[in-house]
């Protein structure tokens, strides 16, 4: 950034650095807990002060391994304290923390490690077989592997001979304790995350210290996650999924406790941990909450301390909002974002006008993805790029801009991900209402183009999903001889229920225009999901796109 052309302000010029967040937590919330579920089921207890001291040692160790500023340190790990230490050690010393999603196909993981040209890989022992499977495809840039454990196991997969192996604890024990967090340029790269590839080959989004700290401030506003020092926050969203939505940073900033669930993400494990550790707030994708709900309902369990749950990644359903509010007194908070937006772009919090709505309408409103966070801006545009009105009805391509929105993908020219006016096209289609609440109606490639008009697949899915016999629903564009595309509904029934086509189609009556009604309904055993839990519509389209042609509908 250049000097201002007018009069310079006379305030201190401290950069926005990730290490400052951790230093703040360690100094002002020293004893606040970081509790992690270990692989053996037991709990590990640390504090912000303890994590900071260990992260500094780890940073010193990385430096001793020869990691230079800007080099990438990859992780293949669940949410626990060791992963958190890498999260802070890597950017804190000027390197880049590159979280890799272990649920991706091994060939994608190998591609991502090579594209990022990682230098070090920190890996949970549970992923060693995966490491063995891609051993021949590891990048030549890789010099060191750090096993996130006390010691190295007796047997390891066959790995290239030049790789050095270390146990995380041995590295920390051997490192100097006097490492001081360096003063870095706030625009330096801090973390790297690849998009999950639902839209093609994974692409790297490279965050900076500045974007990360501003995002942490943004999500810490009261109308967003708004953490407080009394909070005990459990990110179920994995730390390899867009930095656990920024929670590890925002929690340090607020001095909140972190409860990290490790690899046990089933309903029973989450329920037990939430109550045992007095979790006040949690965050994750809808599938996680559906599993938790099923567990609570089948066991009669209660949520003793949870006040609110943030949901995002895919659309939240009224079933979730209603069940958690009415049966457990928990507020579901709906947010929207993507890797390219760090990830949080919008968060649903009521304005006075929506608070005053009749209960049913207010509940319906909560399904919207919310208002844009301060410092960001959004707009919707038509096919020609003209901005559309905020009437809550017209939908168009959603664009965003702001200090935590990506400008270019890793390895590509600066600004290459933006349009001529500096806006980032999200690939989502949305409405915005007069009060600025955005609602996703589709991803641009999923919207159903029927005779030149657009039908929202998500709107149809929401209606199908509210049917009492439906566990999960998907609507895809199926080819049609007359209308180009028509909606095809796929439904997974709830256990023990046998919904009929007529009964399911009845659910749409009066809720959408008649021409939006699905042309056919298929009952299926399950629906495919991506590595981040989203419906995999590409797979569904590949399988069912010609279904209506086969039916010879007119």
x-marked contacts with ligand ADP along 226-265 as a string, rule CB under 6 A: ----------------x-----------------------
Q: Of the listed 351, 445, 449, 511, which one is catalytic?
A: 449
Cα(485)–Cα(501) distance, integer angstroms: 20
Cα(340)–Cα(347) distance, integer angstroms: 16
Instruction: Write the secondary structure of 264-309 as one string of H (helix), E (strand) and C (coil).
Output: CCCHHHHHHHHHHCCCCEEEECHHHHHHHHHHHHHHCCCCCCCCEE
DSSP SS3 for 198: coil
- Nearest-approach distance from CB 439 to ligand ADP, in angstroms: 9
- Nearest-approach distance from CB 205 to ligand ADP, in angstroms: 8
Residue of minimal Cβ distance to ligand ADP: 338
Q: Which is nearer to ligand ADP, 121 or 315 (CB)?
A: 315
Q: Which is nearer to ligand ADP, 54 or 334 (CB)?
A: 334
Cα(402)–Cα(214) distance, integer angstroms: 10
Which residues share a beta bridge with 377? 401
Residue 189's H or E segment, with its range, is strand 189-194
Q: Of the listed 32, 75, 99, 195, which one is catalytic?
A: 195
Cα(406)–Cα(203) distance, integer angstroms: 12
Backbone φ/ψ region at 102: left (φ over 0), alpha (ψ -120 to 50), beta: alpha
**Token pair of 413, please?**
């020219």
Question: Which of the residues 507 through 536 are near ligand ADP (CB under 6 A)?
Answer: 532, 534
- Any catalytic annotation for residue 453? no
DSSP SS3 for 523: strand
- Nearest-approach distance from CB 337 to ligand ADP, in angstroms: 6
Q: Is 224 in the site for ligand ADP (CB under 6 A)?
A: no
Q: Of the listed 186, 277, 340, 472, which one is catalytic?
A: 340
- Any catalytic annotation for residue 454? yes
227 half-sphere exposure, CB direction, 13 A CA radius: 29
Residue of 284, 372, 296 lying closest to 332 (CA atoms): 284
Span of 69-77, 81-89, 150-158, 309-317 interacting with ligand ADP by CB under 6 A: 309-317
Residue of 545, 384, 407 lying closest to 474 (CA atoms): 545
Q: Is 284 in the site for ligand ADP (CB under 6 A)?
A: no
Pick from 59, 281, 440, 460: which binds ligand ADP (CB under 6 A)?
440
Instruction: Write the secondary structure of 345-404 as one string of H (helix), E (strand) and C (coil).
Output: EEECCCCHHHHCCCHHHHHHHCCCCEEECCCCEEEEECCCCCECCCCCCCCEEEEEECCC
Pick from 312, 396, 518, 533: which binds ligand ADP (CB under 6 A)?
312
Q: Roughly what angle, to the nearest 10 degrees, separates helices 286-299 and 267-276?
A: 80
- Nearest-approach distance from CB 242 to ligand ADP, in angstroms: 6
Q: Is 225 in the site for ligand ADP (CB under 6 A)?
A: no
- Any catalytic annotation for residue 532? no
Q: Which is nearer to ligand ADP, 116 or 128 (CB)?
A: 116
Span of 22-30, 332-340, 448-456, 496-504 interacting with ligand ADP by CB under 6 A: 332-340
Question: Which of the residues 399 through 438 are near ligand ADP (CB under 6 A)?
Answer: 426-428
Question: Which of the residues 173 through 202 are near ligand ADP (CB under 6 A)?
Answer: 195-199
SS3 content of the chain, % helix, strand, coil (to 5): 30, 25, 45
Q: Is 462 in the site for ligand ADP (CB under 6 A)?
A: no
The separation between CA 442 and the C-alpha centre of its own chain, rounded to angstroms, equals 18
- Any catalytic annotation for residue 327? no
- Nearest-approach distance from CB 498 to ligand ADP, in angstroms: 29
How many residues lie near ligand ADP (CB under 6 A)? Answer: 24
Pick from 369, 406, 441, 457: which binds ligand ADP (CB under 6 A)?
369
Q: Which is nearer to ligand ADP, 260 or 458 (CB)?
A: 458
Q: Which is nearer to ligand ADP, 57 or 368 (CB)?
A: 368
CA 415, 416, 417, 421 torsion-angle sign: positive
Q: Which residues are catalytic?
A: 195, 340, 449, 454
* Contact set with ligand ADP (CB under 6 A): 195-199, 242, 312-315, 334, 336-339, 343, 369, 426-428, 440, 443, 532, 534
């Amino acid at each position: 950034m250049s000097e201002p052309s007018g009069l310079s302000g006379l305030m201190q010029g401290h950069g926005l650095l990730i290490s400052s967040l951790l230093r703040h937590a360690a100094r002002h919330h020293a004893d606040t807990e970081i509790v992690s579920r270990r692989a053996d089921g037991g709990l590990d207890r640390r504090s912000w002060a303890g994590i900071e001291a260990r992260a500094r040692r780890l940073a010193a160790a990385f430096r001793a391994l020869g990691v230079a500023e800007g080099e990438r340190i990859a992780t293949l790990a669940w949410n626990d304290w060791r992963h958190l230490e890498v999260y802070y050690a890597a950017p804190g010393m000027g390197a880049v923390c590159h979280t890799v999603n272990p649920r991706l196909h091994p060939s994608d993981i190998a591609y991502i490690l090579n594209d990022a040209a990682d230098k070090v890989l920190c890996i949970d022992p549970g992923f060693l077989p995966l490491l063995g499977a891609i051993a021949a495809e590891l990048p030549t840039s890789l010099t060191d592997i750090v096993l996130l454990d006390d010691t190295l196991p007796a047997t390891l997969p066959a790995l290239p001979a030049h790789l050095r192996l270390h146990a995380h604890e041995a590295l920390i024990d051997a490192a100097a304790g006097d490492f001081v967090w360096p003063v870095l340029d706030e625009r330096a790269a801090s973390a790297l995350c690849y998009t999950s590839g639902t839209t093609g080959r994974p692409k790297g989004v490279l965050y900076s210290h500045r974007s990360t700290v501003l995002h942490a401030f943004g999500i810490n506003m009261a109308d967003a996650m708004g953490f407080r020092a009394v909070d005990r926050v459990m990110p179920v969203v994995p730390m390899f999924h867009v930095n656990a939505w920024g929670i590890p940073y925002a929690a340090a900033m607020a001095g909140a406790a972190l409860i990290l669930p490790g690899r046990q993400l089933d309903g029973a494990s989450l329920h037990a941990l939430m109550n045992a550790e007095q979790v006040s707030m949690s965050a994750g994708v809808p599938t996680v909450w559906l599993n938790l709900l099923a567990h609570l309902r089948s066991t009669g369990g209660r949520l003793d301390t949870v006040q609110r749950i943030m949901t995002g990644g895919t659309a939240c359903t009224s079933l979730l909002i209603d069940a958690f509010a009415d049966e457990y007194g928990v507020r579901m908070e709906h947010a929207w974002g993507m890797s390219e937006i760090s990830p949080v772009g919008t968060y649903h919090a009521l304005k006075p006008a929506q608070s005053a709505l009749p209960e049913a309408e207010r509940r319906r409103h909560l399904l919207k993805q919310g208002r844009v966070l301060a410092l960001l801006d959004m707009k919707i545009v038509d096919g020609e790029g003209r901005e559309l009105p905020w009437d809550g009805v017209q939908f168009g391509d959603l664009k965003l801009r702001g200090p935590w929105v990506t400008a270019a993908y890793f390895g590509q020219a600066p600004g290459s991900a933006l349009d001529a006016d500096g806006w980032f096209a999200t690939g989502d289609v949305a409405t915005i209402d007069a009060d600025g609440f955005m609602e996703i109606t589709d991803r641009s490639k999923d919207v159903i183009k029927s005779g030149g008009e657009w039908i929202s697949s998500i709107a149809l899915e929401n209606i199908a999903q509210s049917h009492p016999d439906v566990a999960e629903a998907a609507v895809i564009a199926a080819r049609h001889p007359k209308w180009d595309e028509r909606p095809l509904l796929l439904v997974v029934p709830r256990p023990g229920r046998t919904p009929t086509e007529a009964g399911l189609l009845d659910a749409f009556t009066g809720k959408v225009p008649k021409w939006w009604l699905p042309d056919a309904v298929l009952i299926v055993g399950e629906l495919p999901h991506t590595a981040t839990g989203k419906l995999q519509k590409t797979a569904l389209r590949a399988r069912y796109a010609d279904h209506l042609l086969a039916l010879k509908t007119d």
